[in-house]
Amino acid sequence: MTLDGQIAEIVEALDSGFPPVHTMSGAEARAVIRSRFVAPSNPEEVGDVRDASVHGPAGDVTVRIYRPARMSGPVPTVVYAHGGGFVFCDLDSHDGLCRSFANLIPAVVVSVDYRLAPEHRWPAAAEDVLAVAQWAARNADALGGDAGRIVVGGDSAGGNVAAAAALMARDHGAPPLAAQLLIYPMIAADFGTESYRLFGEGFYNPRPTLQWYWDQYVPSPADREHPYASPLHAELSGVPPTVLLTAGHDPLRDEGIAFGHALEAAGVPTTRRHYDGCIHGFITMPMLDVAHQARAQVCDDLSTILVAGARV
C-alpha cells in the first residue's frame, strides 16, 4: 500500500500539527480546534443557505440548510452529522463538504449541530440527528425535498451518529429512510485491529486520540456493546441501502470494512468504496484531488440508490 502522492507530501505536517486533544478536557479541545479554523474566502456557491432551529429531545437543535444551485422539483434530503470525535467540529467546519454534497447529489442538505460529548454522552448525538430527520420528513415540502427520499449521513464520529440514527429510525418506525451515507465511520470501539496496529501512529489520527474520543462519548466498556453506541454490534436487517467509504491508511479501516460485510450479510444493499492511498479525514481536505474524486463518487453512488428506490 502506498499513500496518495498529495497526501504523502503533507501527512507528516498534518500528524505533527494536530493538537494532543487526548490530554485536554472536552471544552479545551473544542476551543483549540475552533481557534484553528479558517473559513474559505470563496465558498462554493449553492442555491441558498440558512440556519434554523429544530425541536429536539433536549431542547432546540441548530441546523444549517443548503439548497443546491440547480434544482427542479423535489430533491432528496440528506441529514448530515459532522465528524469531530463526538467532541468538536460544528456547522462551520463541515460547511464546505455540505455545499459540495448539495450540488453533487443534488439534494437539500441539513447539517446538524448535535449535542457534543463529554457534556452530552451517547446516545444524545444520534437522538438529535433522528429528531432532525423526522422533522425533515414532516417538512419536506417546505424544504423543497421529497419525503420519500430522506437520507442520513456522516463522516468519522458523524458516521457512527448517522448509523445509530438509522437504527433508531428502523426500530421506532420513523422516519422511513431511503439510504445512509457513511464516510470512514467510527463504528466500533475495537483498538486491536490490524489497521490500528499499522496506522495508529503517524497517520494523523493516532490511537490515543481515537481512544479518548470514545472515552468522552461512551466511557463505559459495557455500554460500547450497545448497537446505538457501536453499530457494528447491531442486528442490521432492515436498515436502509448504504454507501460506505473507507480509507486504506486509516486506523478505522478494518471496522469500516467489517461493517460493510455485516451489512451485506444482513441483506442490506451496500455500495462500498475503498480509497487505499488515503488517510482518515481526507474527504474534508479540499486541497486534495482525491477528496473531490471521492465526493463525486459517493454522491453518484447515493444518487443511483435514490433513483432506483424512486422507481420501486
Q: Kindly tell me if the per-residue pLDDT of 311 is higher than 60.
A: no
pLDDT computed for residue 1 by the predictor: 74
Q: Cα–Cα distance between 180 and 166 in angstroms, integer? A: 7
**Amino acid identity of 29?**
A
CATH number at residue 27: 3.40.50.1820
Reading the block at residue 158, the C-alpha cell is 458523524
Give the mean pLDDT of 222-231. Answer: 98
Q: Is the pLDDT of residue 312 over 80?
A: no
Q: What is the pLDDT of residue 270?
A: 98
Average pLDDT of the residues in 196-222: 97
Q: Please give the positions annotated as active site.
A: 156, 250, 280
Distance CA(256)–CA(274), nearest Å, equals: 10
Task: Name the grid cell of 241.
Answer: 441501502
State residue 75 phi and psi, 5-degree precision: -120, 165
Provide the pLDDT for residue 72. Answer: 82
Structural domains of the chain, count:
1
pTM listed for this prediction = 0.97
Question: Which residue range forms the structural domain that includes residue 85?
Answer: 5-310
Confidence of residue 263 (pLDDT cuts 50, 70, 90): very high
Give the whole-angstrom CA distance, residue 36 versus residue 34. 5
Q: How confident is the model at residue 23 (pLDDT cuts 50, 70, 90)?
A: very high
The angle that helices 289-311 and 5-17 make with each other, rounded to 10 degrees, is 100
Q: Rounded to whole angstroms, how far apart are CA atoms 98 and 51?
A: 13
